[in-house]
Amino acid sequence: MLYRLFPWDLAADASSPGGALFNPRAQQGRGRHDNPDLYGALYVARVEVSAVAEWLAGFRGQMLVPDDFVRTDGRRWALVGLDDAALRGIVDLDDPVELEARRMRPSRVATRTRSTTQQVAETLFAEGIPGFGWWSTLEAAWPNVTLFAERALDALNVAEGPREIGIDDPVVRAAAAAIGVTLS
């Protein structure tokens, strides 16, 4: 199972803007593994708390209130569980054997330097794989996955949700406590 946090439009089907499987490629370019000229990057996690914490990290040092879970366009943040049973060929960059085979150091995977992580993703995309796993820089025990949308979306199905998240959601509370975000 993979989990994704996304801005949900209740009227959208899964692959349309506001849907659980929509890839906002035209808005990409600054993210950890983005390269919109080559592919769309779909960021997901193996555990719910990581999907939420990756978004919450931008709010460190702030207090979140219920309105922070509603975007200016009216869409609300939602969490969805995606069945990835049909997805094959994900490379696990948390596996030392995989890193050695690609002559990659863990520091290249975990760095916050976007030019480095984007180059890693571009190299992996050139291999023809549908995506790769890596550990969250927020908590190494949280496995994240970057999918190349053009190769992976057809193999995913919505399995759980979507469900709106907010201040009272237990996953939001756990993620906020883990990374030091205050909730009202």
Determine the Cα angle at 39 with ends 37 and 41, to 5°: 120
* Alpha-carbon distances of 99 from 69, 115, 134, 156, rounded to whole Å: 37, 19, 11, 26
Report the mean per-residue pLDDT for the chain. 96
Q: How many CB atoms are closer than 10 A to CB 26?
A: 9
Taking a C-beta distance cutoff of 8 angstroms, is the pair 130, 124 a contact? no
State residue 79's pLDDT score: 98
* Alpha-carbon distances of 8 from 20, 43, 53, 120, 174, rounded to whole Å: 7, 15, 18, 30, 21
Per-residue tokens: 79? 């969490």
State residue 85's pLDDT score: 96
Q: DSSP H helical segments within 33-78, as ranges?
A: 48-56
Averages of pLDDT over each 10 residues, the chain, 184 residues: 97 96 94 96 98 95 94 96 97 96 93 94 97 94 97 97 97 96 94
d(CA 138, CA 17): 28
Q: What are 10-60's pLDDT values in tens digits?
A: 999 999 999 999 999 999 999 999 999 999 999 999 999 999 999 999 999
State residue 95's pLDDT score: 96
**8: helix, strand or coil:** strand
d(CA 113, CA 104): 15
DSSP state of 3: E
State residue 55's pLDDT score: 96
